[in-house]
């Protein structure tokens, strides 16, 4: 019988293999960032990027890059190389990447440039030459999708996930995958294989989760457009934490099939969404429009077949309901401040703000718990619910506390 490898050794081996993907010429000197908590300016100051590469990665969003490549301001190879280098820098600063396939990406970009040169009159694909990063859960043929679990190390995907295949068909260049929490079930991107992703705005703060690696990478402009997933905030939380744009579409709008999951096959749950994270809102719009125009049901039969209709602003003011708490959780001061600023800006824009008082969430939670845990003789497991500190329901805390306290439980579970 083959001995089971210790998970710590598995993690060390995987990290070593990942780090070898960074060329020596792209490696940072520690004096560029040691002791700093704000890392946003390091990529442009460290001397690794050329002047043109700084312009490519800092002066353009995804829409601007697509237009610049079309206008032959930059080649696909130049753009891809610039973002591969900047992503490597971002990884050394924040530990945001899981898989780096820079050489393959640059070769893909070279192929796109050659094909354009050979066929100069052929229409370019919608995302021709645009580098796009992906959350670790998306499968890419030949690459691991471990979502922080040792059992998935060394089992590369046999084929691309639906959204990866779709993006490639649109001319995009996939070049890296980004870190997540173990099983993607907390709001802090930390796991036993790759460790924790740091927030480049302030390394003392969380990068969020579960798409936290993507959030940190885009904040450092190691990517200007990435793809995450969201069921309970996994795009929205890291977008907020890192100061970038993110959009959770309705479920079924963007292909989701072909991802790594911690759940057993066939397990039912709340339907998640795949969606964009970017340096601008119009880049998120570019992604959604390109995906919908590409007839995504060709790649994932579960996708809702909706045509691209465009987004036209309403001429009438909107009526927007706002809840500042749910009677159990009171958001932390920064969250409250952000919500108040949003309300103020919406009011200034002429929209009608309607305060909402939510029903007693705690009482309803107990009712649901009783219904879901009733024995045949009518007894319930309410006594057990009082001991569930993990979900922090009966011990109200700021809104992200319940997800953060899950991390210490990993060490306990591993000892079982």
Q: What is the pLDDT of residues 91-124, one digit of tens each?
A: 999 999 999 999 999 999 999 999 999 999 999 9
Measured between alpha carbons, how far is residue 321 from residues 245, 324, 346, 349 in Å?
A: 22, 10, 11, 15
Rounded Cα distance, 234 and 180, in Å: 10
Q: Looking at the annotation, which residues are catalytic?
A: 135, 210, 234
What pLDDT does residue 277 have?
99
What pLDDT does residue 328 have?
82
Q: What is the pLDDT of residues 214-241, one digit of tens each?
A: 999 999 999 999 999 999 999 999 999 9
Torsion, Cα 70 75 80 82, to 10 degrees, reads -120
Query: Taking the CB of residue 394, how many other CB atoms lie within 10 A of it?
Result: 14
Q: What does pTM read for this prediction?
A: 0.88
Query: Taking the CB of residue 119, how many other CB atoms lie within 10 A of it?
Result: 10
- Percent pLDDT > 70 in the chain is 89
DSSP structural state of residue 206 = B
Show Cβ contacts of residue 244 under 8 Å, excluding neighbours closer than 6 positions. 215, 218, 219, 277, 278, 279
Report residue 19 as tokens. Answer: 């780090």
- Percent pLDDT > 90 in the chain is 75
Q: What is the pLDDT of residues 29-48, one digit of tens each?
A: 988 788 999 999 999 999 99
Show Cβ contacts of residue 296 under 8 Å, excluding neighbours closer than 6 positions. 162, 166, 254, 255, 303
CB 193 within 8 A of CB 17: no
Q: Does domain 7-298 have CATH number 3.90.1300.10?
A: yes
What pLDDT does residue 415 have?
46
What pLDDT does residue 334 have?
87
- Collapse the DSSP code of 366 into the 3-class scheme (helix H, G, I; strand E, B; otherwise coil) and give the result: helix
Name the pLDDT band for 371 (thresholds 50, 70, 90): confident
Measured between alpha carbons, how far is residue 191 from residues 149, 164, 186, 209, 404 in Å?
A: 8, 24, 10, 11, 12
Measured between alpha carbons, how far is residue 283 from residues 97, 106, 136, 287 in Å?
A: 21, 22, 21, 6
């Amino acid at each position: 019988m083959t001995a089971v490898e210790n998970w710590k050794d598995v993690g060390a081996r995987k990290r070593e293999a990942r780090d070898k993907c960074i060329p020596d010429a792209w490696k940072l000197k520690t004096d560029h960032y040691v002791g700093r908590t704000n890392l946003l300016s390091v990529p442009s100051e460290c001397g690794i990027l050329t002047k043109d590469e700084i312009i490519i990665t800092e002066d353009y969003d995804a829409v601007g890059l697509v237009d610049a490549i079309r206008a032959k301001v930059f080649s696909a190879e130049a753009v891809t190389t610039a973002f591969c280098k900047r992503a490597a820098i971002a990884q050394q600063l924040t530990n945001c990447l899981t898989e780096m396939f820079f050489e393959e990406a640059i070769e893909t970009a070279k192929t796109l440039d050659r094909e354009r040169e050979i066929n100069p009159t052929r229409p370019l694909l919608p995302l021709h030459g645009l580098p796009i990063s992906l959350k670790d859960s998306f499968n890419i043929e030949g690459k691991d999708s471990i979502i922080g679990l040792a059992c998935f190390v060394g089992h590369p995907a046999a084929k691309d996930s639906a959204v990866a295949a779709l993006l490639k068909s649109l001319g995009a260049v996939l070049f890296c995958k980004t870190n997540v929490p173990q099983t993607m079930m907390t709001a802090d991107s930390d796991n036993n294989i790759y460790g924790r992703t740091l927030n480049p705005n302030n390394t003392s703060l969380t990068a969020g989760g579960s798409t936290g690696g993507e959030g940190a990478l885009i904040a450092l402009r190691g990517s200007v457009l990435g793809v995450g997933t969201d069921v309970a905030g996994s795009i929205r939380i890291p977008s907020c934490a890192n100061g970038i744009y993110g959009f959770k579409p309705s479920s079924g709008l963007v292909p989701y099939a072909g991802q790594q999951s911690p759940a057993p096959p066939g397990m039912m749950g709340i339907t998640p969404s795949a969606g964009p994270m970017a340096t601008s809102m119009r880049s998120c719009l570019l992604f959604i429009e390109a995906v919908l125009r590409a007839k995504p049901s060709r790649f994932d039969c579960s996708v809702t077949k909706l045509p691209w209709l465009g987004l036209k602003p309403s001429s009438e003011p909107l009526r927007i309901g706002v809840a500042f708490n749910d009677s159990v959780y009171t958001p932390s001061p920064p969250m409250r401040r952000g919500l108040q600023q949003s309300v103020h800006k919406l009011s200034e824009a002429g929209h009608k703000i309607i305060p909402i008082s939510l029903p007693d969430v705690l009482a309803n939670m107990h009712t649901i718990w009783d219904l879901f845990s009733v024995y045949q003789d009518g007894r319930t497991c309410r006594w057990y619910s009082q001991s569930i500190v993990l979900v922090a329901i009966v011990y109200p805390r700021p809104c992200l506390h319940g997800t953060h306290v899950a991390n210490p439980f990993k060490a306990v579970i591993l000892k079982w």
